[in-house]
Structure 1
Amino acid sequence: MSAERPSLPPVRLHTEAELARDALAAPLLARAARLARWAGPGTRVGAGGELVDAQLPEAAEHLGLGDDEDGVAYASEAWRLAVDTGLVDVEDPQGTDDADEGGDAEGTVTVGENLALLTSGSPQDVLAIWLDGLEAVHADATAPAFDDFADLVNEDGSVDFDALDWDPEEEAEFLDGVLGNLYLLTLSEAGPADGPVPLPVLAASMVVPEEMDEPTDDVLEQVSEAMMRLDDQFRVLEPIGIVEYRPVDETLLAEEGEEATGPADDEDVTRYGMVKLTPLGLYGVRERMLEAGVDAPAVGDLADKGADALLDGIAYYPEEAARTEVGLWLGRRGAEGAEAAAAELLAAARGADRRAPLRRLHCQQALALVGPEAEPAVRAVLGDPELGGLARVWLAERGAADVPAPPEAMIFWLAVDTIAAQLDADGDLDELQELVEGLSGQHSGFFDEAWRVEHPATAEVLEAVGRLHRDRRISKAARKAAYKARSRRKD
């Protein structure tokens, strides 16, 4: 009975202000901003905008990395990000004498408009700059690696890119797939929660076919290769703040020219690399997925939508996320709007489409958060054949007086609707069996009447009862009732 579900569970993001603070604290962006403030008219850059080699030691010194053996490399990396994110603007040496004569022409540097936004702009401005930086770092992470660039240069001076055996689209797709799997593992109820993911697990998620019970030696070798590939990529991604990464222990690497193998059962898996998306990383990966057209909901997305969008949107949310989303939706309406909110929810719950039973289930759960202010709106639907049952349940749970007894037809209709909703929700099998057995056992002669219920899902519900009920006699009666319901529909 399930309708189309969103491809990913909803994510709970930090506020934009918190994310912007995290973005400003990301080591790479912080260094890029410091270099942008340090740069001036005398800063020497090459034709491609890069700092010239003679300028790099001074830049590293300004970053406090003068004594770091990798300080020059960090400075070069930070400067590239400053250029890519518009913190500095570089004018190429077009038309200079050096350029015309083929000399070592240098460009000029001016402050970029985005630099001021890092201190005086809104959180959205900061995050937009950070996302540009993430895009640039993502491209760096998927760039080809080579030991000797000279080996790629042809006799005529051109570069033989084919020799790299590198497909940029394939590399970007692989890394995005990895980040997507990490995102899903982070959000999954069965995932690591706040803990990191072992690199071998992440590599296997990209390589091992789902239907394969025991990976072959060839597949294990591919997992090992993917691990080392990801180790390089996460080292590049970590400084932009998207992940927390514990690299592969280099002592595990075999002799030069060999690769690390996967962990044995008795080895510490953390030595093979551990990775975790940061809150900023969750935001960044989600933004990339949204741009690619992936359905990646976030808690709070529905707070300013109508009740119809709310009930449809939370249809397959985990219970806690759905409750939070409803709470945010109600919070926008305030206590003075509680009765109107309840009426809107009830109106949105009506319908005979396949998702209507689940909407009514979530409507009932949402009304539980409204409080006594909802009572007038709930009493107004007591006579509604689709909503009267849940209205009586809601009133009874609050000990309301003068609740009219439901007609027998409404009792059976509500039982069918409730089971239909739970079947659509794909809940726990044991809980579903208990629900089926409880509802069908509450009324003597349940199946003699249930097949007559004017509900679109009557036949499917009775068939499900036949499958799920553990009493074979009752299961048989349910199947017979389902047959009658289908025959009645045809007539």
Structure 2
Amino acid sequence: MCEMCEQDAGAEVTPAMSPVFLRPEAELRLAAERSLLLDDLRGYVAGLDENSEPDGELFSRWAEAAGLVRVFKGKHVPVKKNAKLLDDPLQLWERLYSTIGEAGCGIASQDAAVPLAFGMLFPQLVTSISLTLYQSDPVPVPVELLFEILASTLDLGQAPSESTRYATVVTLDLLGRLGAIEQDTADAAGLARIAEIAGKPDPSPVLVSLTPIAVWAINRQLREAGIDAPVIGDAAEASLDELSPHLIDAAPEIIDAELKSWVRHRSPSGAAVEASEFLRAARLPEERLFALIALGETGEIGLETAAGVRTEGGLIGAVAAMWLSERGAVGPETITRDEVILGMTDHFAAMHALGAFVHQLADMDDGFDIVDLLTSSGHPDRLELLNVVGVEHPDRTMAKKARKASFKLRSSDGVQPPGQRSDTSRLAR
């Protein structure tokens, strides 16, 4: 069993994994063939002769761990039964990835700046990086935050030391050369946010994410270990009620892909009927959003179905009205003020549940009075949203207005502040 699966089977990180998107095998094979380290390991095996003694360095240790070579009379010789791996780039890549943890001592012997203890730490380091990036896929992770996550996960102290940072960079470099991760650079706004979260004035601007072939390999390892590691499309036969809980913590790209797959497994009319029934029964704003996304994938029949839901009025009628207006299916002049207020508030509540409402606040026009909209909506989540606006709105005047409006609502309704509630408020998400 792979190092990752041995360490994490049954661990707390695995039960709530979001579904991942797996690329076609042909695309994965091309990615494997482009790996720089794949050629290096093939070259090491091809270059073996009667003088090839194991030197303990990276390629020597890795080729042996992968079963490509073995020691015979003190010399490295090819393992004949595994020779076919050298001709299959995808299988060879997967074998190298699953045994990469055993290459740490080889790195330490080649790099004087890497302590020998790194060899013992390396398998855990690779596992922690892989699972952290896998669970955030497809959203890149700032390497500055990765340093802190790894320091905490590996019990190396709260603040990552310089040796931890260097060991992480070395590990990321090796994973990059293998083709398991890709790097990007944060823009100015993203870098400022990283600095704020990390509490560092000059954080690294590097963002890291898994490549599609690494997502595929990790998913295979987890599934083989009996861990619930869903793939987009696995739940296509489930009802929207069963599917929705798995989408709450997923990235927008994953939500869209999963709902598209769900619709494709039904006729457009059948999907529209199921989505509209779920829309009517939904208790949470994010569930109503998922239902509307599914309706949007059914084409014209989805628009017709939503128009019927609108006539029912109330919260779902307002939500349907705003959705139809956004798609140009009805004229904006036909939307009532109550539909606008209630429909927009429900959308904000859905974004809050999905962790995107704070970002929306930063992008709102200066003239948009969100406090008045939320206060007058009568929406069940308006108090939660006002509390967020009061803390997170970039305009201090608007934030103060939201806090005042929240206080008035709590006083008039006899509601305690969120910090004093005994229930499990969704504000904690």
**C-alpha distance 118-393 of structure 1, shift in aligned 2 (>3 A):** same
Alignment of 1:349-428 (within 5 A): 349-351=279-281, 353=283, 356-381=284-309, 382-383=311-312, 385=314, 387-396=316-325, 397-400=327-330, 414=343, 417-428=346-357
Q: 2 CA distance for matches of 1:293 and 1:27? A: 31
Partner of 1:242: 180
Distance in 1 between residues matched to 2:281 and 2:223, nearest whole Å: 30
Quote the residue 1:56 is aligned against: 52
Residues 415 and 483 of structure 1: CA distance in aligned 2, closer, same or farther (over 3 Å): farther
How has the CA–CA distance of structure 1 residues 229 and 318 changed in structure 2, closer, same or farther, with 3 Å as cutoff? closer
Counterpart for residue 175 of structure 1? 126
State the distance in 1 between where 2:239 and 2:97 align: 34
How many Å apart are 1:357 and its aligned residue? 0.8
Is residue 31 of structure 2 the alignment partner of residue 22 of structure 1? yes
**Match of 1:172, as an amino acid?**
P
- Any conservation in 1 of the 2:272–2:305 contact (CA below 8 Å)? yes
Cα distance in structure 2, aligned partners of 1:189 and 1:130: 23
2:73 aligned with 1:135, yes or no?
no
What amino acid does structure 1 have at the position aligned with 2:351? Answer: Q
Partners in 2 of 1:165 and 1:143 — Cα distance? 12
In the TM superposition, residue 372 of structure 1 has moved relative to its aligned partner by 1.6
Question: Given residue 321 of structure 2, which amino acid in structure 1 is its aligned partner?
Answer: R
Paired residues of 1:11 and 1:299 also in contact (CA < 8 A):
yes
Query: Is it true that 1:345 corresponds to 2:275 in the alignment?
Result: yes
Provide closer, same or farther for how the CA distance between residues 206 and 363 of structure 1 changes in structure 2, counting only shifts above 3 A: same
Q: Give the percent of matched residue pairs that are identical in Structure 1 and Structure 2.
A: 21
Contact 1:308 1:348 in 2 (8 A): yes
**How far 1:344 sits from its partner (Å)?**
2.0
- CA drift of 1:483 comes to 3.7
Tell me, yes or no, if the aligned pair for 2:18 and 2:246 is still in contact at 8 Å.
no
Tell me the secondary structure at the aligned position of residue 131 of structure 1. Answer: helix
Q: Within 1, Cα distance between the matches of 2:75 and 2:336?
A: 85
For 1:112, what is the secondary structure of its paired residue?
Answer: helix
1:308 to 236, 241, 248: 241
Please state whether the residue corresponding to 2:99 is helix, strand or coil.
helix
SS in 2 for 1:315: coil
Q: Distance in 1 between matches of 2:139 and 2:383?
A: 33
Residues 472/111 of structure 1: CA separation in 2 closer, same or farther (3 Å cut):
closer
The one-letter amino acid of 1:341's match is A
Aligned residue pairs total 369
From the superposition, tell whether residues 129 and 378 of structure 1 become closer, same or farther in structure 2 (CA, over 3 Å): same
Q: How does 1:321-332 map to 2 (within 5 A)?
A: 321-332=254-265
**Of 80, 85, 94, the match for 2:64:** 80
Q: Residue 438 and residue 362 in structure 1: after superposition, are their counterparts in 2 closer, same or farther (change >3 A)?
A: farther
Q: Deviations over 1:72-130 (max 9, x none)?
A: 9788557525626xxx8x8x99xxxxxxxxxx6999987437828955xxxxxx64553
Partner of 1:54, secondary structure, is coil
Distance 1:33 1:474 in 2: 63
Paired amino acid for 1:80:
E
Does the Cα contact within 8 Å between 1:141 and 1:232 map onto a contact in 2? Answer: no
CA contact (8 A) 1:420 1:461 kept: yes
Q: What amino acid maps onto 1:242 in structure 2?
A: A
Contact 1:338 1:370 in 2 (8 A): yes
Report the residue type matching 1:133 in the other structure: L
Partner amino acid, structure 2, of 1:132: R
Rate the CA distance shift 1:365–1:136 in 2: closer, same or farther, 3 A: closer
Alignment-mate amino acid for residue 32 of structure 2: A
Q: TM-score, normalised to structure 2's length?
A: 0.58
CA distance in 1, matches of 2:359, 2:117: 53
TM-score (norm 1): 0.52
When you count helix as a share of all residues, which structure comes out higher?
2
Residues 242, 277 of structure 1: 8 Å contact kept? yes
Partners of 1:419 and 1:289 in 2: CA distance? 35
1:5 deviates by: 13
Q: Distance in 1 between matches of 2:50 and 2:384?
A: 76
Contact 1:56 1:75 survives alignment (8 Å)? no
Distance 1:386 1:359, change over 3 A: same
State the distance in 2 between where 1:426 and 1:458 align: 16
Structure 1 residue matching 2:52: 3-state secondary structure:
helix
Matches within 5 A, 1:81-480: 83=67, 111-112=80-81, 115=84, 127=90, 130-141=93-104, 145=108, 168=120, 170-180=121-131, 187-188=138-139, 191=142, 206-207=150-151, 222-223=161-162, 225-226=163-164, 229-230=167-168, 233=171, 240-242=178-180, 278-284=211-217, 306-333=239-266, 337-351=267-281, 353=283, 356-381=284-309, 382-383=311-312, 385=314, 387-396=316-325, 397-400=327-330, 414=343, 417-429=346-358, 431-432=360-361, 441=372, 447=376, 450=378, 455=380, 457=381, 460=384, 470=398, 476=404, 478-480=406-408
Q: Deviation string for 1:19-58 (max 9, x for gaps)?
A: 123324545555767898x89xxxxxxxxxxx8x72639x
1:347-390: per-residue Cα shift (whole Å, max 9, x none)?
3334465xx21121233344334332214433443427553222
